[in-house]
Amino acid sequence: MSLMETEHRYGVVSKTLHWLMAALLLIMLASDVWFEAFEHSISEHTLMGWHQSIGALLFGLVLFRGFWRWLNRNRLAPHAQWATLAKWGHFALYAAMVLMPLSGVITVLGEGDALTLFGLTVVPAGPEVEWMEDIGEDVHESLASVLWVMIGLHVAAALVHQYWVGDRTLKRMV
């Protein structure tokens, strides 16, 4: 097993990042469910602290993933078919993974709440800035819905590759 990508396979680092981030992202996208399920047992403050911390972790991971992808450029063989579609589809997923935490931070700052990551107050509570809150919330909420659709299409594409086209696309990520 190789750390770096080889011609026909993603390396261990990319695979681990892909599946770890997929799991964390799905947990984060289901935040509404957690907020409702734990509303009587865990304070909203604590839940929001976890939400912010996992979101920030995902932001760090996506930056590292971008760097790792750049280090591995040209190592993987390009797709035989639909290469441009795959490229833009993946680019869109990366863009959404970057914008989600950024819009979250803008929402928190706009609301005038403290930005607390892993128990550390990074920005203390301040005045409410309505336009930031509105833009942040709109982007954060709409992008969450768009991401569900994008992930659905992405998974569908992986399954089509596996069961219809019958190529090695899924195999190179597992």
Q: What minimum distance in Å lies between the beta carbon of 138 and ligand HEM?
A: 10
| Interface with ligand HEM (CB under 6 A), residue from 13, 29, 114, 135 | 29
Radius of gyration of the chain (CA): 18
| Interface with ligand HEM (CB under 6 A), residue from 13, 151, 160, 165 | 151
Degrees (nearest 5) of the Cα angle 62, 32, 28?
15
Q: Is 167 in the site for ligand HEM (CB under 6 A)?
A: no
Q: Determine the size of the site formed for ligand HEM (CB under 6 A).
A: 37
Q: Is 153 in the site for ligand HEM (CB under 6 A)?
A: no
What gap in Å lies between CA 138 and CA 2, rounded to an integer?
Answer: 42
Q: End-to-end alpha-carbon separation of the chain, Å? A: 11
Nearer to ligand HEM, 11 or 107 (CB): 107
| Interface with ligand HEM (CB under 6 A), residue from 13, 114, 115, 129 | 115
What gap in Å lies between CA 98 and CA 79, rounded to an integer?
Answer: 25
Query: The dihedral of CA 147, 148, 151, 157: what is its sign?
Result: negative
Q: Is 18 in the site for ligand HEM (CB under 6 A)?
A: yes
What gap in Å lies between CA 136 and CA 111, rounded to an integer?
Answer: 10
Q: Nearest-CA neighbor of 90 among 101, 102, 78?
A: 78
Q: Is 173 in the site for ligand HEM (CB under 6 A)?
A: yes
Q: Site map for ligand HEM, 56-95, x if CB under 6 A?
A: x-x----------x----------------x---x--xx-
